[in-house]
Structure 1
Amino acid sequence: MAYSWCDSSAALRQWSAGLAAGQPLYLDTEFMRERTYFPRLALVQVHDGDGIYLIDTMQVDPAVLAAALANRPLVMHACSEDLEALAAFTGVYPAGVEDTQIAAALVGEDMQLGYQRIVETRLGVSLAKGATRTDWLRRPLSDEQLSYAEDDVKYLPALAQGLREQLDRLGRLPWWREECARLREEAVARAEPGEPWRQVKGAGHLQGQPLAVLRELAQWREQVARERDLPKGFVLRDPEMLEISRETRPSLAGLQRLGLHPKLLRRDGDTIIECIERGLRAEPPAPLPEPLDGEQRQKVKALRDKVAGIAEQLALKPDVLVRRRWLEALVRDPARLPEPMAGWRHDIVAKPLLESL
C-alpha cells in the first residue's frame, strides 16, 4: 500500500473533508522529547480504512489537524504518550480512543505487548525496528523512516478488527470500552500539575517540614519546566530536591555546599531560598504511606494468589485483572476500593478479594 505525504493545511483539509461522520481513524505518532518538557510532535500517521496518510506536523496548522481528528474514534496501540503528544500540538484530547494493546491484554496477551510483536504473533508479519530512535524532526525524512512510519498503521485495521471480534466472542467489549475511557481520562489528568511532589523519587523518606519544603520546590520546578519547556531534571534533579528539602537555614552559601551548579544558583538561587522559607512556614502535607508491614505483605501475597487463580480461569494475565499497587491500597484500607477495581472488575475480582480480607 502506498502512502500519501501530507505537508500542507490545504491537503489536510481536503483529505478530512472526504471522511464520513464518525469514521474511525487508525493512528500513530512520532515525537521527540529528550530535551523538552512537552513532546514535540513530528509526524502523524493515519490509516482511514482506504489509504495511509503521513501528516507532516511541521507544515500543518494544529487547528486543522484537531478538526480532522475531532468527533471520531482514534484506534491506536499503547497510546498514552501519543495522546500527550497530540494534545501538546493541537491543544485538545480526542473524544474517544480504542487502544489495541489494552484489547490484546483483555484476550490474554501480556499487558505491555508492543506493536511489532503483536503484528508478528497475530498477523504473521515481521516489521523492521531500525528507525525507532531516529530524529523525527529532521527533514527530509529518510526512506527507512517513511517505511517504518507507514508500517506503524498499515496493519492496525486488521489487528483491531481481529481483536474486536475476539473480545465480542468473549463478551468483553464493555471491558475494553471502560479501560479505554479510563486511559483517556488518566491522560487528561496527567496534563495538570496536581501534586508534583508525590512524583519525586525518594519523597516517601520525608515528613514534616522537609516534606513541606519539597512540596514548594516541586511546584516551582513544575512551573519552571513548563515555562522553559525543559525536562524537570534539567531544572533541578530529584536527589538535589531531597537535599535542599532538609535545609533548615536557607542561604546561598548553604546551597553552594550542597554542590548545586553555579549557573542554577545565579539564575534561581534566590527563588529556591524563597521556596524553602515558604515550606518551613507551611503546614506539611500528609506523608506518603509507610512500607507495608509483615502482616500486610502476607495479606497482599494471599490476595495475589487469589487473583492468579481467577486470572487462570479467565485465561488472562493476573496483572490485567489487578495491579499490585491496587492490592496494597486495598490492604491498607479495605473500605476504600481503588477506582479501577470498580466497573467490570467489581464482581469478577474485587468482591472475592474483599470477602477474603
Structure 2
Amino acid sequence: MTYHWIDQPARLAEMASTLPADRPLFLDTEFMRERTFWPKLALVQVNAGEQGVWLIDPTTMVDDPGPLTRLLSGRTLVMHACSEDIEALRMHTGEAPAAIRDTQIAAALCGHDLQCSYQRLVRELTGTELPKDATRTDWLRRPLSAQQLAYARDDVVWLPELLALLEARLTELGRLAWWHEECDRQLAQATVVGDPEDAWRQVKGAGNLSGVALARLVALARWRDIQARERDMPRGFLVRDPAMLALALEGPQRREQLAALDLHPSTIRRDGDTLLALLREGETQTPPDALPGPPTPEERQLIKALRSRVAEIAESMQLGTEVLMRRRWLEALARAPEQLPEPLLGWRHDVVTRPLLEMLP
C-alpha cells in the first residue's frame, strides 16, 4: 500500500475533507517520552483505504493543530493498544476521540494473549510477518528513514482486516458488547488527569509507610508530580522512588543529611531546601489511611480458592485468566466484596463476579 507524507496543515485539511465524516479512522501514532513527562507526538499514521496511508507529521503543525484536531474530532478511532496513543493525541490536539475500538482488547476477548502485540496478531490472523526493527528509533528526528516510514505504514495497513476478523469472531462468541464496554472504559481511563494529591500511591514501596512517614511522602509526592508536569520531565528525574521513601522515613532536618539518602547532588543543590520544607510541612498534616498490607493467611487461602475458580471459568471460555480477573481486583473482592472494583460490575458480573461472590463466607 502506498503512503503519502503530509507535513503541511493546509494539505492535511484538503485530504481530510475527502473522508466521510462518519467513517472510523484506522490509526496509529509514534511518540517519544523517555526524557519528558508529557508524550511528544512525532507521527500520526492513518489508513485511508483507497487513498493509501497518510503519514502525518505533527511536529510541523504545533502552531496550527486545527486540521489534525478536526480530522479526529467526533470519530471512532480503530487502534491497537492505544491508551498512550490517546494521551499523545490529546496533548497535541486538546481533544480525546469520540470512541475507540482497540484491536488488542478485541484479540484478548477472542482468546489471544492479553498483551498480544500488533505484529503477533497480524501473524496469527493473516500469516504475515512484519518487521520490528524500527520500534525503538528516534521518531522525532527528521528526516525519517525509509525503514521508519515503511514500519510506520505497516502499523496501520492491516488494521481494517484485523477489525473485520475480530468483529466477526466476537459476534460469533456473543462478546461484541463486552468489547465495546472495555473500549469505553479504556478511553475514560486514558483521559483522566492524575490528581497530585494521590501521587503518593504510585510511589513504589508506599504501602510500607504509615503515620508521619506517610504524611511526609504525601507532601513530597504532590510536589514531585506538580514539578514533573511543569518542568516536563519524568518524576524519577526529579527524585527517584527509593530516595522518596528514604526521605519520608528518615525525615532529615538539614541539607548535609540529604547526601546520605541517595539523592543526586544536583537535586540537593536545586531543590534541597524545598525538600526539607516539604518534610516539615508533611509532619504537620494528618496522614491518609495506609495502603492495604499483604493478605492475611486466611485471605491468602480465600484468594487461592477464588483464583482457581477464575481459572476454571477462563478455561471453559478459552480466555486468559487475566482477561477475566486482574490480581488486584481479586484481592479487592476477597477483602471488601461490598466495594467491588468498577470492571467487575459490567459484563464480568454474571460471568465471573457472581460465581466468586457465592464462594465467600
TM-score above 0.5? yes
Whether the aligned pair in 2 keeps the contact of 1:76 and 1:100 (CA below 8 Å) is yes
Moved more, 298-307 or 245-254: 245-254
* Partner Cα separation in structure 1 for residue 110 and residue 165 of structure 2: 11
Could you tell me the TM-score, scaled by structure 1's length?
A: 0.97
For residue 68 of structure 2, what is the aligned residue in structure 1? 65
* Partner Cα separation in structure 2 for residue 316 and residue 90 of structure 1: 37
2:286 corresponds to which of 267, 283, 289: 283
* Partner Cα separation in structure 2 for residue 22 and residue 191 of structure 1: 32
Deviations 1:89-132 (A, max 9, x none): 11221111100000001111110000000000101110011111
Deviations 1:323-344 (A, max 9, x none): 1110100111111111101111
CA shift for structure 1 position 169: 1.4
Question: Is residue 301 of structure 2 the alignment partner of residue 298 of structure 1?
Answer: yes
Give runs of ≥4 in structure 1 deviating > 6 Å: none
For residue 93 of structure 1, what is the aligned residue in structure 2? 96
1:188 corresponds to which of 187, 191, 198: 191
Would the alpha carbon gap of residues 111 and 181 (structure 1) be closer, same or farther in structure 2, given more than 3 Å must change?
same
Secondary structure of the residue aligned to 1:312 is: helix
For residue 48 of structure 1, what is the aligned residue in structure 2? 48
CA shift for structure 1 position 211: 0.4
Matches of residues 307-346 of structure 1 in structure 2 within 5 Å? 307-346=310-349
2:151 corresponds to which of 148, 153, 176: 148
For residue 31 of structure 1, what is the aligned residue in structure 2? 31
CA shift for structure 1 position 18: 1.2
For residue 222 of structure 1, what is the aligned residue in structure 2? 225
Would the alpha carbon gap of residues 31 and 188 (structure 1) be closer, same or farther in structure 2, given more than 3 Å must change?
same
* Letter paired with 2:114: M
For residue 18 of structure 1, what is the aligned residue in structure 2? 18
Secondary structure of the residue aligned to 1:118 is: helix
Matches of residues 153-302 of structure 1 in structure 2 within 5 Å? 153-193=156-196, 195-302=198-305
Whether the aligned pair in 1 keeps the contact of 2:28 and 2:44 (CA below 8 Å) is yes
Secondary structure of the residue aligned to 1:31 is: strand
* Letter paired with 1:9: P
Deviations 1:295-330 (A, max 9, x none): 111111111111111112211111111111101001
| Structure 2 gap segments, 5+ residues each | none
CA shift for structure 1 position 294: 1.4
CA shift for structure 1 position 173: 0.9
Deviations 1:178-204 (A, max 9, x none): 000000111112555451100000111
CA shift for structure 1 position 266: 2.1
Deviations 1:116-156 (A, max 9, x none): 00000101110011111111111110000000000000000
In the alignment of these two chains, the number of paired residues is 357
Deviations 1:54-92 (A, max 9, x none): 001111232321111010100000011111111121122
* Partner Cα separation in structure 2 for residue 205 and residue 41 of structure 1: 37
Whether the aligned pair in 1 keeps the contact of 2:46 and 2:54 (CA below 8 Å) is yes
* Letter paired with 1:18: T
For residue 5 of structure 1, what is the aligned residue in structure 2? 5
Whether the aligned pair in 1 keeps the contact of 2:196 and 2:221 (CA below 8 Å) is no
* Partner Cα separation in structure 2 for residue 190 and residue 323 of structure 1: 23
* Letter paired with 2:121: I
Would the alpha carbon gap of residues 58 and 16 (structure 1) be closer, same or farther in structure 2, given more than 3 Å must change?
same
* Partner Cα separation in structure 1 for residue 152 and residue 192 of structure 2: 29
* Partner Cα separation in structure 1 for residue 109 and residue 274 of structure 2: 49
* Letter paired with 2:54: Y
CA shift for structure 1 position 249: 4.9
Would the alpha carbon gap of residues 121 and 342 (structure 1) be closer, same or farther in structure 2, given more than 3 Å must change?
same
Moved more, 1-10 or 86-95: 86-95
Secondary structure of the residue aligned to 1:111 is: coil
The CA RMSD measured in Å over matched residues stands at 1.2
Could you tell me the TM-score, scaled by structure 2's length?
A: 0.96
* Partner Cα separation in structure 2 for residue 292 and residue 354 of structure 1: 18
* Partner Cα separation in structure 2 for residue 167 and residue 318 of structure 1: 18
* Partner Cα separation in structure 1 for residue 299 and residue 181 of structure 2: 30
Would the alpha carbon gap of residues 261 and 316 (structure 1) be closer, same or farther in structure 2, given more than 3 Å must change?
closer
* Partner Cα separation in structure 1 for residue 65 and residue 196 of structure 2: 23
Moved more, 137-146 or 87-96: 87-96
Deviations 1:11-46 (A, max 9, x none): 111111111122100111111111111111100001
* Partner Cα separation in structure 1 for residue 309 and residue 249 of structure 2: 43
* Partner Cα separation in structure 1 for residue 171 and residue 265 of structure 2: 61
Secondary structure of the residue aligned to 2:49 is: coil
